[in-house]
A = this chain, B = another copy of it.
Amino acid sequence: MNIHTRADAPTGLSAQEEFLNELFDKGVLFDSGVDGLYGRSGAFEDVIKAFDRLVTRHGKHDAATSIHFPPGIARPLFEKSGYMKSFPQLAGTVHSFMGGDADHCTLLAELEAGQDWTGQQQATDIVLTPAACYPLYPTVAKRGPLPPEGRLYDLQSYCFRHEPSKDPARMQMFRMREYVRIGSPEQVRAFRETWLERGQTMMASLGVPLKVDVANDPFFGRAGRMLANNQRDTGLKFELLIPVTSEEKPTACLSFNYHQDHFGSLWNIPTADGGVAHTACVGFGMERVALALFKHHGCETAQWPEAVRQVLWP
């Protein structure tokens, strides 16, 4: 393991930049010129797929309903979600050209002159998905009251967050897998406890150092600091942390969130007995887990410890 705990390594580059450059040099990631936007090698994808199957094995007895969401969510649903209230700086709206031939001439002239040509772009009905579970709640609400046992979903989605960074573990576009439990407070808290245990067992089997800690989301602005403190104080969010480029600021690779009745109220999801559904989720940052493995076991997956390879490719 080779993790710099200082802000700057001897090269003058931060530990994050050093690891990013190593990933480019070894062909694990491909540079696009934009921070946080990278191509992934075949070996990287093999790790993502293997970890995905490992999560499936750990969750297989729970009989979750699987849904794969595309990278976008319908704008009306996104607007209702409240995301712009809490995290406006992270969202990405999708805009398109909706003009005719004359407008197109203007656009091409702007492009040709190296000017900003995006002024004519108009917002479409699509916003990039910020977290895999956002499109789920309105989908569940349409099904009416929950059955007594509640519901469990297994989700996958590409997500977007506008936070360009040299930290390879902070990509702008990344995949998130989530199990989402919807039911009574007892059901969803039990689910979160189960996954807090399972998550640690599963990640320990991959030979990486880890710890679990209370956490908060990156709420926006002055008011956001209060929300963040409150979230920590009430223990609503835990993260499984693995040191990737820093021991002092390890990377959140899994997160375990109890939303109380936030989404159940917002989307009007009743429980079987007429209460308001509570929800909880466990999220897996697929790229972050892969990067943690590349950091701790090296850039050549064929050279990874046999015990780890057995877990990933049984």
Contact = CB atoms under 8 A, between A and B. Distances in A.
Contacts of A126: 34, 37, 92, 172-173
Interface in A287-313: none
A101 interface: yes
For the complex, would chain A's binding face be called helix, strand, loop or mixed by DSSP majority? mixed
Contact of A45 (B68, B107, B174): B68
A139 interface: yes
A123 B121 CA distance: 9
A72 B37 contact: yes
B91 A92 contact: no
A65, A89, A91, A124 interface centre (most CB from chain B within 10 Å):
A124
A250 to B, nearest CB: 24
B91 A96 contact: yes
A190 B128 CA distance: 39
Interface string A21-54: 0000000001011100111111011000000000
A91 B97 CA distance: 7
Contact of A121 (B95, B96, B108): B95
Interface stretch (A4-12, A110-118, A192-200): A110-118
- Give me the 5 closest cross-chain CB pairs, A-B, nearest first: A42-B66, A70-B173, A118-B123, A96-B162, A34-B74
26 contacts: A32-B135, A34-B74, A37-B126, A38-B70, A39-B67, A40-B67, A40-B70, A41-B66, A41-B67, A71-B158, A72-B160, A72-B172, A84-B111, A85-B108, A88-B107, A89-B97, A90-B96, A92-B96, A92-B126, A94-B160, A95-B95, A96-B162, A118-B123, A121-B123, A125-B164, A126-B172
